[in-house]
Structure 1
């Protein structure tokens, strides 16, 4: 003899409709959520990146997805997540970098600008911090020198989306972070 699974008692119409509506709302909300990470592509701009999540402001990308990323000559790929651009190496280590000209920071003289808390610092292409994060803002290095500022603040963006830094003390530093004339 085959035992039959007991059928649940029919739900009341109002309760069943409530459950159905809850299911529709939950699935619509899940579909409406943006992906945690997006890949920057030449063809499509920002494109959803599967198997990537942000945990405590750090990217977590699956090994299979890492293999498929488009790496540059420095062995770095660009991912947009957590409201900013990140460089990712082939091992999955990442560095959040400044947005510059409406895209990610590009290496200048082998250095990238990134944030340490609310301060700006310089990192090498292996994501090691080489100049302490003691500046409110910093510009890229050029000929071994970079302009930085403390006490400056973001101004009003122009029509192209560029945001000037206003006020504060501006000065120049060398690659070790020392002031230069």
Structure 2
């Protein structure tokens, strides 16, 4: 089973919210490059299909984190399978249709050659997590905690002068859990090519 098939299987099994089927239709349509897009230009998942693969990695990491006894018993983090699937699989949908294939010059063995790479071109520059929440809310309802988790999944790596990240982590623990899963997937599971 390839990553697209895994993603669709998890999505269909776990996400039953009204409107979710229409969003999956969009992801699978010619209007979306979700399953072919990279996750970044130069860093984690910077290759065809990297975005879908990264989303699956985040899902696996979030499930594993939330399955820990301490997380359940001490931190009292208990979320539905649907919530886990929504925030993990869809946290980076802001990256749909923003990466364009191009080439650049690179010196290899004292010779300049053209190598492929991705350029970033966002025609809806609405922020990162904010854009994902905005897009999702046009298809189906997110709970407040889901919206905060997706919005702040980048954690403290975003420039946030008002300490909204800390507020989100304190008041909506799923934000912290998703951020942790995203970092684990980015730095330990996703490849760089």
Give the structure-1-normalised TM-score: 0.25
Greater fraction of residues in helix: 2
TM-score by length of 2: 0.24
Kindly indicate which of the two structures has a greater share of residues assigned to strand. 1
Question: Whose relative contact order is higher, 1 or 2, with alpha carbons under 8 Å and at least 6 apart?
Answer: 2
